[in-house]
Amino acid sequence: MSSILNGIPYVFVAAPLFAFILNNAVPRERMRSHAVALSGGVAALQLAAAILGFALLAASGRGEVRFGLFWSVDAAGAAYLRVNLVSLFLLLCVGFVALASALTAAKTIDDHRCSFANLFMALLLGMNGMLLATDLFTLYVFLEITGTASFVLIAMYKSSKGLEGAFKYLTMSALATIMMLTGLALLFMHTGSLAFADLGAAALSGASGEMDILCYGALALLISGFAIKAGAAPFHSWLPDAHQSADTAVSILLSGIVIKIAGAYGFIVLVELFGDLYAVRLSVAALGVATIAFGALLALVQTHFKRIAAYSSVSQVGYILFGIAAGSPLGLVGALLHVFSHAAFKSTLFSGAAALHEQLGTLDIEQMGGLQKNMPVTGFASVTSFLSAAGVPPFAGFWSKLLILISLWQAGWIGLSAAALGLSILTGAYFLRLQKKVFFGPRNPRWDDVKEIGGTIRASQIVLSAVNLGAGLCFPLVLLYLQSIGLI
Amino acid sequence: MIVAVYICLGFMLAFGVIAIMSDGLITAAITLAVTSAASGVLMYLLGAKWAAAFEISVCSGLVTVIFISAVSLSSGDKTKLPAEYQDSRRTKRLPAVLIVAGAALMCAAALTGFSLPAGDAAQTGLTFGETLWETRQADVWGQMIALITGTAAIVVFFKESENR
Amino acid sequence: MFKTICALLGDPVNPMISMCALPVAGGVLACLSRGRSRGALRMAVALLFGAANLVFALSLYLGGGASGALALGVQGLELRLAVSGIAALMLPFAGLLFLIVAVYAASWFHKREGGGAYMLLLFISLGMLNGALMADNLGVLLFFWEGLLCTLFGLLLIGRRENSKAAVKALALSGTADLILMLGILATARLAGSASMSEIAARPLSADGPGALGCACMLLGAMGKAGAMPFHSWIPEAASDAPAPFLAAFPGSLEKIAGIYLATRIVTDLYEFAPGSPMSLFVMVAGAVTLFFGVAMALIQKDMRRLLSYHAISQVGYMLLGIGTGLPVGIAGGVFHMMNNALYKTGLFVAAGAIEDQTGTTDLHKLGGLRRAMPVTAACFFVCALSIAGVPGTNGFFSKELIFDAALESGTIFYVAALAGAFMTAASFLKLGGAAFFSEARLPQGRRNIREARLGILIPAVLLAALCVLFGAYNALPLQTLIGPALGDAHIHAGWPENGTLVLLSSAVLLLALADHVYGRKKGGGALAAADHIHYAPGIKQAYALAERGLLDPYNWLMAAANGFSAACAWIEGGVTWFYDKAVPGLVTGTGQTLRRFWNGSVSRYLIIAVAGVACICLIFLLAALGEVAP
Amino acid sequence: MNGWIPVLCVLVPLLGACALPFAGKRSPKIRNALALALVAAAFAFSLASLPAALAGEPLAVRVKLPLGLSFGLVADALAVFMALTSSLVAAVIVIYSFGYVREYDNQNEYYMMVVLFIGAMMGLVHTTNLIFLYMFWELSAVCCWRLIGFYREEIAVARANKAYFVTVAGALVMLAGFLGIYAQTGTFDLEAMKGFPLPAWAVVLILFGILSKSATFPLHSWLPDAGVAPSPVTSLLHAAVLVKIGVFAYARLFVGTFVIPEIFALAVPVIAALSALLSAGLALRANDIKRVIAYSTVSQLAFILLGISSGTEEGFVGGLLYILAHAVAKGGLFLCAGIVEHSVHTKDITKMGGLAKRFPLTAIAFALCAASVMGIPPFSGFFAKYLVIDGMLAAGHPLLAAVFIIGAVMTVLYLARLFAKVFLGPPAFPDAKEGTSGMVASVVALAALALLLGLAINLPGSLAALIWEAM
């Protein structure tokens, strides 16, 4: 049993690498048609491996599984890679969103297929690497890889004029890089080693018992760096423009999982290491409130379908930050489950956007109207994503939000919990406006002859809606399973 | 030793400002090379010899070569920045802001008694090879995947699109 | 014979239930009889079921009352029925009157439309009235009491669907009165601890302090049903709209019986009604006001139906005045006056119905000289008119004397008002008799050949006139044998009133009225204008003008108040809707718009915002470092 | 086995609703029959659990879950009473909507949402856990949103959104209250928290949700606006079932489970009085037939809330009877309005008149239902109003009782005005023809039911008294 468990972590690194090599080895003409299928296969493999790994690891009861591919892992001070329950769950989410993106990409991406596959693998490697890293510097390196890969994916299909969104993403990432590197440098200077094991509030306080200014500065810079990557409130400016100029398949990846792994996972690590420092959790909570409020308010006034979805992602990241800020295991579980449910309903929404773009040619919601009649599947999928995002009970979104609210209330932040509840009515507001303008409102004669989208996008919409509803309905079973492995 | 450090910092600041301000791509490339060279010297002064070696050889050397070759290969009119990127209003105030920020940082460092670490920081017993291969295995992965991503990115940008 | 019928039907409760169910069955049968011979069929049903109901009522009366309970299952509302005292008397009396009115209605609708629905609703009303009279539990009394509301609304809608003003007005006013009664009943039941009248009668409640609310509301409810002010204004309206038999049934008899029965039960059983107490003053004042203004309005009417309906209102004033005094003689006088009024008022309405049946109109301008064409109707009208005017020797006179006696004892102002009322009643009936029967014929020549009324209408009129004469000539029968035992004190002085001065005064008033009529006739030219000199006298003219415009009509006050209140509500609602539709959405989208303008897409602005964000996070850490922010 | 009846009562409509669109694709007849069968099944199951509830040991199924989220369905007396009321009226409304919705499009979604709504109602009535109560509460809000926006016009969707916002905002505030309770007791299970004294702020938060759902004064604005929905929807949602959820929650939480501070025994009736008077005043002035009836609903709901919150047995029993009487009568009124509006194509009562001649059966049914709402015997409305006012007097507030009598008087005024304006007076639409036989039959059935319940009041009366003992 443990042999399989030890083998599984290798899949997450070997599979994308092998696919990358295969993608470039086979001559371009034949590879063109299978490139996206290959990336879909890799995503599916990762998803399966993560599920199997999670089950085995939970059953085996071992905290984590260390591995170093060619080297022994027990050398002193070795920066090995490891896999634990949190990272396995996030790897599962990565696989799930990558699969959804591949399904959409099969329809929407018709040129540069090989390059898309290459960058898809690079992005996958970046994210997997971040989740497997055991020290802050490796985490930063893989963060940069994810950043570069997603920048190129965004800028890939645009003419020189359309590079504006990608350019904004690049400049903001550069700012994040500067801050994170200085933070890491300050930390390294103070503690001598960046491995998770050595770091921790105790290590930081050192002999004198209280933190000196530089360590506070380091933490502040690290938090703002991850905030930019996560698209938290004051730093979210790049997200909508990046989404508007990126292809829909890339948008699914970007808002479905990249901002979660690059941003939220960073916060998970920080709170895990320096959680008992009240300032860290307070600043994450403050970011959370600002993110939800700004995201929702801005989403309410947009006229482009994907910008609304982008701001909605910004807003939902706020809830994940809330879960992390609570600091309790229940909060962490809530945040992770919200990562999964957000991935599910955001991918649904974006595949809806892809369908609309394919069939109508435009994504300006002012020109749409009453499409429920012509495009019932897309309409139904958008309703499931609305209900799950707004936290309407039978859907997955509600349960994860509920856990986050309970953890916030138990952490003593009653005001924040009430604010989260109040702001979720804003979530409902902008989704209802979207429904009214696009699907539910009076019919626009211009789209009378529009037919429903076919192929993989319809399949992905149906599967994703089923996941949204299914995860919600059998959530009590998930709770029982989590209790059996002692997480709640 | 402190004076040399401040000189290098001064060089870096000045040439950095010129690099941002200049309209010509070539002058920008050259001044960027000088900035990275100054940072290399600074690292050497602060005792990070390996890092200094890499900095000078790779950043100021190789990168500058690539920049200049790319600029010279492309046709003549590309040397000037396209019109819409020239933000005249901003260029006036930038140097003043940067110099003031530099001065502020310096006196902040002075105030908090920021002391330079001892010249030759305690060298860990390991040689460069050992640190890279034994303790920093994850970095090997990191470098490898970074190279892959870089090549994939370059391939995308400089390739004629297949079917257009 | 009657007892056997009770035994036949099992335990005592059964006949009582059947007295409610029997009329309903009769009504359904009458309504279902269709086809050519429906007139005769309905007459037969009316006779059969009316008689059966009368027999049951008499069997209960002679059987000395009965009581029984049926668990209705709802807390505080078990169906307890008990027939004793005044209820036992009222049941047969109502049965008798119903029989007469039913026959009259059957013959009236012989040729006309809407007969079936009318009979159905009339029979259901009888069922409800029987139920109300028999109810011992106050809640059950209210159940049957309000039931009359439905049938009243239905009856008023027959034939007059175009303008439904009278029906709506009746529903509104009686609905209000019934709801006030509900409040009164609940307060009384709550105060007494139990809702059964027989238990409350054991130890009556005091009418001052907490009991005042209950007593006042119940009295208001009783007065509302009887048709006294301030709930009276639908009756004249209904008079001009509703079919003629309706007037004879509802304002004529059923409503009066119910209203005065409840008023008597309140005064005698439920509350200690001290003669001088504020509650008795309240009832007497209401009685006097109704009496005076009712007949004042009747005086100037030019249409027979409206004139008689106003008289119906003013006669209630006499009864309330009598009961309001609280003295045994007053209460007996009130009840006796109610019985007399039921007889002669119904008789007058039947006579008016006969005239309308023959001539097609009740407008006095067009009528005249019917004495020769319809001698029997004229005779019956003449007998009833004499008794309503209270001419010595008639039954009206004896009951009025008792009320005058009681009124004099409790306050001369009430006695003077009663006398003025008697004067105007006499004057108006002289005018009516003169205009309709004695002046020369002014009918349009098309209606020259008027014959005597049909038998079905004539017999009820004659029967009623005969009863009036009977009650007048031998008044010991109603007083000592019927009302005395019902009210529990048998020694009421029957026969000729012993207080001679009262008799002299009232006959003087009658003579004065006759003189005024002769003077008015000569001055106004014709019997119809006999009362015009009073109508257009300087001070009184403006008062009448006000009344004409409906300013004194309580219904209009109620509607004005309701519309004013709803205008205020509309203003508040405007504010609430503004908040929901404009304020909240405007605020939210407003902030959204400003934020969108702030994030205008320029990279430098984004970077500045990001740096500001970093500064905030550093601030938080600074505060934490200085120990400000404790967990 | 017996535990399965409540589960089936909840699951059959919920899962059946999902099958309706597919049945609809095959043929409308099958879909209509299936919809009626599902609602009838809900009625049958709740009827099946009646004897056990009467015998005192209710059918139940309980599943233990972590975090105090234990799922439980108990068919106790209150649950069965509410389930029977709502599924009975819903069945009549579904029959009515066969004729009404025939010529409009997206009927599949209409029937799916109606049956889903009934499933949510059954779940909400039977559940014993606060979070699952909130779950069914939100599900009904979503169904209400889709149904109000049925005509897909601009105004209809705007009003649907408004209804969604107000009810969901209230529900979210209520959820905050539930979290507060969870923080203090550590569980969401109602049976475990029986008799727990609630702090005042938690009660206020939960009251927000209750008042928004049962459209009481400050939060009532969405109900009159929802007149844009088709008549069976307004009848189902705003008369018979949806608005009863709020009052049921009050009974289940504050009377059945928790002990609330004394102040609320006076505060809630005062709010109810305010709402009753204000909406009665507005009903007197409104000229849209559905808006008048909607304001009347707001006013009558205040009556029900008064009864249930009076804290005395008479008041509580009266409140429950009022729920039954109002559901039947008000449902009938809305359906009659539907028939009238469906054939004359206008909702403005000033343009109507004299329709009694053209719609004799509808006019009689409207008059009977209006009488029951006015509280005129022998209809069931009378007993309910009698007991509610009695309860108020028993609680020792004669002034409030008088205020509610004024409310009752205004009810008589505006319903008489409405009846006169629509059915009496000079005929305005001489050639209008009455709706289909199905529609008229269901309306007459409801009117007859109102009369029948009045005469046989002791059946629901004894059930209501039993509920009070169980509380």
For residues D130-159, average pLDDT: 92
- Banded pLDDT at B121 (limits 50, 70, 90): very low
Report the residue from A70, A71, A115 with minimal CB separation from B156.
Answer: A115
Helix or strand holding residue D60 (H, E): strand D60-63
For residues D23-47, average pLDDT: 92
What are C303's strand-pairing partners?
C363
Q: Are C175 and D376 in contact (CB < 8 Å)? A: yes
Chain A: give the shortest CA distance to residue C580, in Å. 14
How do the domains of chain C map onto residue ranges? 292-302+324-537, 599-631
Q: B154 and B114, same structural domain?
A: no
* CB proximity C562 to D under 8 Å: yes
Which of B117-131, C13-27, D139-153 has the weakest average pLDDT?
B117-131
For B147, other C-beta atoms within 10 Å of its C-beta total 11
> What's the pLDDT at D89?
92
Q: Is the pLDDT of residue C15 over 70?
A: no
Q: B43 and B8, same structural domain?
A: yes
Q: B93 and B15, same structural domain?
A: yes
- Rounded Cα distance between C448 and C359, Å, is 9
Residue A369 near residue A434 (C-beta atoms within 8 A): no
* CB proximity B122 to A under 8 Å: no
- Residues of A within 8 A of C599 (CB-CB) are 237, 298
Report the residue from A373, A393, A409 with minimal CB separation from D179.
Answer: A409
**The complex's ipTM?**
0.86
Could you tell me what percent of chain A has a pLDDT over 70?
Answer: 94
Report the residue from D63, D131, D157 with minimal CB separation from A440.
Answer: D157
- Residues of D within 8 A of C142 (CB-CB) are 377, 386
- Banded pLDDT at B163 (limits 50, 70, 90): very low
* CB proximity C589 to A under 8 Å: yes
B164: domain range? 124-164
A286: domain range? 2-484
> What's the pLDDT at A58?
86
Chain D: give the shortest CA distance to residue A423, in Å. 10
Q: Are D66 and A479 in contact (CB < 8 Å)? A: yes
Report the residue from D278, D425, D459 with minimal CB separation from C162.
Answer: D425
> What's the pLDDT at A127?
93
Chain C: give the shortest CA distance to residue A326, in Å. 12
How confident is the model over C582-624, as pLDDT tens digits? 899 999 999 999 998 888 878 888 888 898 999 999 888 888 7
Q: Is the pLDDT of residue D249 over 80?
A: yes
pTM: predicted TM-score of the whole model, two decimal places: 0.89
Q: Among residues 1-30 of chain D, which lie with CB inside 8 Å of chain A? A: none
Q: Are D425 and C167 in contact (CB < 8 Å)? A: no
Chain C: give the shortest CA distance to residue A283, in Å. 6
For D39, other C-beta atoms within 10 Å of its C-beta total 29
- Rounded Cα distance between A235 and D352, Å, is 61
Q: Is the pLDDT of residue A158 over 90?
A: no
Chain A: give the shortest CA distance to residue B47, in Å. 14
Backbone angles phi, psi at B136, to 5 degrees: -105, 45
How confident is the model over C407-429, as pLDDT tens digits? 888 888 888 888 888 888 888 88
Q: Among residues 265-324 of chain D, which lie with CB inside 8 Å of chain C? A: 277-279, 281-282, 284-285, 313-314, 317, 321
3+ Cβ–Cβ pairs closer than 8 Å linking D and C: yes
- Banded pLDDT at A76 (limits 50, 70, 90): low
* CB proximity A17 to C under 8 Å: no
How confident is the model over C162-177, as pLDDT tens digits? 777 888 888 899 999 9
Highest mean pLDDT among C64-73, C300-309, C518-527: C300-309
Interface test with A, best of C602, C611, C621 (most A CBs within 10 A): C621
Q: Are D377 and C568 in contact (CB < 8 Å)? A: no
Q: Is the pLDDT of residue A207 over 50?
A: no
Query: Which of these, C364, C492, C359, lies nearest to C428 by C-alpha position?
Result: C364
CA distances from C575 to C570, C583, C587, D155 (A): 9, 10, 16, 20
Q: Are C75 and D218 in contact (CB < 8 Å)? A: no
Q: Is the pLDDT of residue A222 over 60?
A: yes
Q: Which residue of A has its CA nearest to D145?
A: A432
Q: B11 and B76, same structural domain?
A: yes
* CB proximity A476 to D under 8 Å: yes
Q: Supply the DSSP string of D112-123, one letter for each residue.
A: HHHHHHHHHHHH
Q: B153 and B103, same structural domain?
A: no
- Burial class of residue C630 (count of CB atoms within 10 Å of its CB; 0-12, 13-18, 19+): exposed
Backbone angles phi, psi at B47, to 5 degrees: 100, -5
* CB proximity A301 to D under 8 Å: no
Length of chain C: 631
For residues D98-124, average pLDDT: 91
Q: Considering only residues C131 and B126, tell me which one the structure prediction assigns the higher pLDDT.
A: C131
Q: Is the pLDDT of residue C474 over 90?
A: no
Chain D: give the shortest CA distance to residue C78, in Å. 10
Q: Supply the DSSP string of C94-163, one letter for each residue.
A: HHHHHHHHHHHHHHHTTTSSSHHHHHHHHHHHHHHHHHHHHB-BHHHHHHHHHHHHHHHHHHHHSS--S-
Q: Give a three-class secondary structure readout of chain A.
A: CHHHHHHHHHHHHHHHHHHHHHHHHCCHHHHHHHHHHHHHHHHHHHHHHHHHHHHHHHHHCCCEEEECCCCCCCCCCCCCEEEEHHHHHHHHHHHHHHHHHHHHHHHHCCCCHHHHHHHHHHHHHHHHHHHHCCEHHHHHHHHHHHHHHHHHHHHCCCCHHHHHHHHHHHHHHHHHHHHHHHHHHHHHHHHCCCECCCCCHHHHHCCCCCCCHHHHHHHHHHHHHHHHHHCCHHHCCHHHHHHHHCCHHHHHHHHHHHHHHHHHHHHHHHHHHHCCCHHHHHHHHHHHHHHHHHHHHHHCCCCEHHHHHHHHHHHHHHHHHHHHHHCCHHHHHHHHHHHHHHHHHHHHHHHHHHHHHHHHCCCEHHHCCCCCCCCHHHHHHHHHHHHHHCCCCCCHHHHHHHHHHHHHHHCCCHHHHHHHHHHHHHHHHHHHHHHHHHHHCCCCHHHCCCCCCCHHHHHHHHHHHHHHHHHHHCHHHHHHHHHHCCCC
How confident is the model over D164-187, as pLDDT tens digits? 999 999 999 999 999 999 989 888
**Token match 């009024």: residue?**
C341
Interface test with A, best of D108, D134, D168, D182 (most A CBs within 10 A): D168
Q: Are D175 and A421 in contact (CB < 8 Å)? A: yes
- Tell whether omega for the bond before D378 is within 30 degrees of 0, i.e. cis: yes
Q: Is the pLDDT of residue C446 over 60?
A: no
CA dihedral A88, A92, A98, A103 (to 10 degrees): 160
Q: Is the pLDDT of residue C479 over 60?
A: yes
- Banded pLDDT at B161 (limits 50, 70, 90): very low
Q: Are A394 and D135 in contact (CB < 8 Å)? A: yes
> What's the pLDDT at C66?
65
For residues A222-234, average pLDDT: 91
- Banded pLDDT at C3 (limits 50, 70, 90): low
- Residues of A within 8 A of C620 (CB-CB) are 220, 279, 282-283, 286
Residue A420 near residue A456 (C-beta atoms within 8 A): no
Whole-number average pLDDT of chain C: 82
* CB proximity A380 to D under 8 Å: no
* CB proximity D172 to A under 8 Å: yes
> What's the pLDDT at D163?
93
> What's the pLDDT at D405?
92
CA distances from C598 to A227, A298, C591, C601, C609 (A): 20, 10, 10, 9, 10
User: How many CA atoms within 13 Å lie on the side-chain side of C591?
Assistant: 12
Q: Are D376 and C149 in contact (CB < 8 Å)? A: yes
* Rounded to 5°, angle at Cα D24 from D20 and D25: 125
Q: Are C613 and A221 in contact (CB < 8 Å)? A: no
> What's the pLDDT at C568?
93
Q: State the total domains in chain A.
A: 1
Residue C464 near residue C380 (C-beta atoms within 8 A): yes
* CB proximity D413 to C under 8 Å: yes
Q: Are A122 and B152 in contact (CB < 8 Å)? A: yes
> What's the pLDDT at A162?
64
CA distances from C410 to C223, C276, C415 (A): 20, 7, 9
Q: Is the pLDDT of residue D98 over 60?
A: yes
Give chains near D: 3+ CB pairs under 8 A. Answer: A, C
- Rounded Cα distance between A438 and A372, Å, is 8
- Rounded Cα distance between D18 and D16, Å, is 5
* CB proximity D131 to A under 8 Å: yes
- Rounded Cα distance between D85 and D453, Å, is 12
For C477, other C-beta atoms within 10 Å of its C-beta total 13
* CB proximity C171 to D under 8 Å: yes
Query: Which of these, B49, B55, B41, lies nearest to B7 by C-alpha position?
Result: B41
Query: Which of these, D247, D239, D245, lies nearest to D310 by C-alpha position?
Result: D247
Interface test with C, best of A243, A301, A308 (most C CBs within 10 A): A301
Do the bridges between strand C79-83 and strand C66-70 make them parallel or antiparallel, or are there none, so unpaired? antiparallel
- Banded pLDDT at C1 (limits 50, 70, 90): very low
For B109, the 3-state DSSP assignment is: helix
Q: Is the pLDDT of residue A320 over 60?
A: yes
Q: Is the pLDDT of residue B120 over 60?
A: no
Helix or strand holding residue C183 (H, E): helix C165-192
For residues A330-339, average pLDDT: 93
Report the residue from A410, A441, A483 with minimal CB separation from D152.
Answer: A441
Q: B34 and B13, same structural domain?
A: yes
Highest mean pLDDT among A192-206, A396-410, C60-74: A396-410
Question: Is the dihedral angle over the CA atoms D331, D333, D339, D344 positive or is it negative?
Answer: negative
How confident is the model over A28-73, as pLDDT tens digits? 788 777 888 899 999 999 999 999 999 888 888 787 888 776 666 6
* CB proximity A484 to C under 8 Å: no
- Banded pLDDT at C159 (limits 50, 70, 90): low
How confident is the model over C252-300, as pLDDT tens digits? 788 888 999 899 888 888 888 888 788 888 888 999 999 888 888 888 8
Q: Are D67 and A479 in contact (CB < 8 Å)? A: yes
- Rounded Cα distance between A12 and A450, Å, is 42
- Rounded Cα distance between D144 and D114, Å, is 9
Query: Which of these, D182, D129, D253, lies nearest to A414 by C-alpha position?
Result: D182
Please give the radius of gyration of chain D, using alpha carbons only, rounded to the nearest integer. 21
Q: Are C595 and A167 in contact (CB < 8 Å)? A: no
- Residues of A within 8 A of B164 (CB-CB) are 111
What are A279's strand-pairing partners?
none
Q: State the total domains in chain B.
A: 2
